[in-house]
């Protein structure tokens, strides 16, 4: 998964388009704000979380309020990037993300960004999944 994206939003933000595979096998691409200060891997607006979660866990309490959690499958077989990640649902995060840009559905945080290499400059943010890592198979 290699991406280079120009910043988007009312206040320009770095972002990635992440492909997820839901429990029915359907792949959805979702635009998420890249947030290196976020300790959760992925936080989605509830409508996206509900359509993508493959199994649910207990809720957690955070500074964003209570969030449901569960497994999400990031699925990009072209690059070999196939991972089950713990994701979270937050209406507050979803609303804040979409207020910046209507296409944003949540955040992608440091635990997921650290699976690859990322960076940026004044106009673009990039992410690449290192080919030297062995991905998890679906």
Q: Read off the pLDDT of residues 3-28 as tens digits, 9 standing for 90 and up.
A: 999 999 999 999 999 999 999 999 99
pTM above 0.85, yes or no: yes
Question: Is 38 within the bounds of a domain?
Answer: yes
pLDDT reported for residue 78: 81
Question: Is 134 within the bounds of a domain?
Answer: no
CATH code for position 50? 2.40.70.10
Neighbours of 44 (CB within 10 A): 29
Distances, alpha carbon 82 to alpha carbons 61, 85, 99, 110, 125, in Å = 28, 10, 30, 17, 22
Domain count, the chain: 1
Question: Is 137 within the bounds of a domain?
Answer: no
Question: Is 133 within the bounds of a domain?
Answer: no
Tokens linked to 115 = 């699976």
pLDDT-derived band of residue 131, with 50, 70 and 90 as boundaries? low
Name the residue with higher pLDDT: 69 or 131. 69
How distant is the alpha carbon of residue 60 from its chain centre?
Answer: 18
Q: Read off the pLDDT of residues 77-113 as tens digits, 9 standing for 90 and up.
A: 887 788 899 999 999 999 999 999 999 999 999 999 9
Over residues 49-68, mean pLDDT: 92
Question: Is 95 within the bounds of a domain?
Answer: yes
Q: Give the integer Cα–Cα distance in Å for 129 and 3.
A: 9
DSSP letters spanning 74-86: EEETTTTEEEEEE
Distances, alpha carbon 36 to alpha carbons 16, 109, 120, in Å = 13, 5, 12
Average pLDDT of the chain, as a whole number: 91
Q: Give the integer Cα–Cα distance in Å for 56 and 53.
A: 7
In sequence order, the 6+-apart residues with CB closer than 8 A to the CB of 25 are: none
Question: Is 91 within the bounds of a domain?
Answer: yes
Question: Is 138 within the bounds of a domain?
Answer: no
What domain range includes position 107? 2-128
Question: Is 51 within the bounds of a domain?
Answer: yes
N-terminal to C-terminal alpha carbon distance within the chain? 16
Exposed (0-12), middle (13-18) or buried (19+): which is 107, by Cβ within 10 Å? buried
């Amino acid at each position: 998964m290699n991406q280079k994206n120009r910043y988007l939003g009312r206040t320009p933000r770095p972002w990635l388009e992440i492909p997820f595979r839901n429990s029915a096998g359907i792949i959805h691409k979702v635009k998420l704000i890249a947030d290196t200060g976020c300790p959760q891997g992925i936080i989605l607006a509830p409508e996206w979380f509900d359509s993508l979660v493959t199994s649910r866990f207990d809720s957690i309490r955070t500074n964003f309020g209570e969030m449901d959690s569960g497994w999400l499958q990031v699925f990009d077989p072209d690059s070999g990037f196939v991972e089950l990640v713990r994701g979270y649902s937050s209406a507050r995060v979803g609303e804040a993300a979409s207020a910046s840009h209507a296409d944003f559905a949540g955040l992608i945080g440091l635990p997921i960004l650290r699976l690859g290499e990322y960076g940026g400059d004044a106009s673009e943010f990039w992410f690449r999944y290192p080919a030297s890592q062995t991905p998890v198979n679906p």
